[in-house]
Structure formats: structure tokens, C-alpha cells
């Protein structure tokens, strides 16, 4: 909307009819406040998009809890512990890695995963996972989330 004539300077603008500045996008497009608001919205959208990968299904929750307790692991090991199929676990690991929540590396032919300590919300995520772990029933916590002990001595009977 042009300030002098109190109507939109563009013929095709619907928002500026009737002398309403608030509805006309052309009036605010050159304003510093408008540009600041757009930057703030984009910043918040980007930060919230970083949280998107951590919300999801039970498989993702179990994977994150596993990585918290055991510190690192690989897909078949996670599948064996929880009784999941391999493909859903691999997809969730890929999604988490794409969202930079976890990192992976190759050790021989095995791809290992670990929580990303450089993730923007790493401390908050760890605190949230510890609260979830504390809220689990004792039987489930002992069954799935008891940290590994040292390896069995060679030749020791089962």
C-alpha cells in the first residue's frame, strides 16, 4: 500500500483494497521490521526442524535408549536385543543420522552408531532419555538396558 494514496500501488493486490495497510503484503515488504520478523521465523523453523528426527515411533525410542545405555552399537545387535526386524531399525538409524542426532562410522565391515555429542540438543536429549529410562518398568529395564559386562573368559563353560 502506498503511504500517500492509502491504497495498494499494485492493481493485482487483494490485501490492500479499502485502505487497510495490515492486509497488504507490499506495504511491509521493504520494512526492516518485516525483514527481521521473516529472519526470526526462518530461524525458529530451522531449530524446530532439528527436533523432528527425535520424535517418532517405539523403534526409534528403543534405539535411542539403547545408544544411551550401551554408548554404541550396530543394527543387527539392536534387532537381536529387542526382537525387531532389521529393515525398520536400519531406516530409523538412517533417519536419525540424517537429522544429525547420531553419528556412524565403519569398523571393518560393520557400521557402528553412537549419539552425536555435537547435536544442538544433545544434553537435553540425554536428560529426556534418562527420564524415559527411569520411567520404564524395572523388569523391562533389567531385561533390555543392563550394561554389558566384560567378555567371558576363553574356555569358560556356559
pLDDT at 1: 43
CATH of domain 55-144: 1.10.10.10
Residue 6's nearest CA partner among 26, 29, 17 is: 17
Query: What is residue 153's predicted lDDT score, i.e. its pLDDT?
Result: 77
Contact 113, 104 (CB under 8 A): yes
Q: What one-character DSSP code corresponds to residue 150?
A: P
Q: Name the average pLDDT for the chain.
A: 77
Low-confidence ranges of the chain (pLDDT < 70): 1-31, 42-55, 148-149, 158
Domain positions in the chain: 17-50, 55-144
Q: What is the tens place of the pLDDT at every residue in 6-22?
A: 455 555 555 545 554 55
| Confidence (pLDDT) at 25 | 55
H-only helix segments in the chain? 25-28, 32-51, 58-70, 75-82, 86-98, 122-135, 138-144
Q: What tens digit of pLDDT does each residue of 69-89 get?
A: 999 999 999 999 889 999 999
Q: For residue 42, what pLDDT is reported?
A: 65
Amino acid at each position: 500500500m502506498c503511504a500517500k494514496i492509502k491504497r495498494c500501488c499494485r492493481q493485482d493486490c487483494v490485501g490492500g483494497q479499502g485502505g487497510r495497510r495490515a492486509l497488504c503484503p507490499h506495504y511491509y515488504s521493504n520494512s526492516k521490521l518485516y525483514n527481521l520478523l521473516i529472519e526470526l521465523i526462518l530461524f525458529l523453523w530451522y531449530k524446530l526442524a532439528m527436533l523432528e528426527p527425535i520424535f517418532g515411533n517405539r523403534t526409534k525410542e528403543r534405539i535411542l535408549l539403547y545408544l544411551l545405555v550401551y554408548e554404541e552399537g550396530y543394527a543387527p545387535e539392536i534387532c537381536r536385543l529387542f526382537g525387531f526386524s532389521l529393515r525398520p531399525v536400519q531406516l530409523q538409524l538412517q533417519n536419525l543420522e540424517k537429522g544429525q542426532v547420531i553419528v556412524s562410522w565403519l569398523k571393518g565391515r560393520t557400521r557402528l552408531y553412537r549419539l552425536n555429542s555435537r547435536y544442538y540438543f544433545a544434553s537435553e536429549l540425554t536428560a529426556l532419555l534418562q527420564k524415559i529410562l527411569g520411567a520404564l518398568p524395572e523388569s523391562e529395564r533389567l531385561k533390555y538396558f543392563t550394561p554389558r559386562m566384560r567378555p567371558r573368559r576363553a574356555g569358560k563353560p556356559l
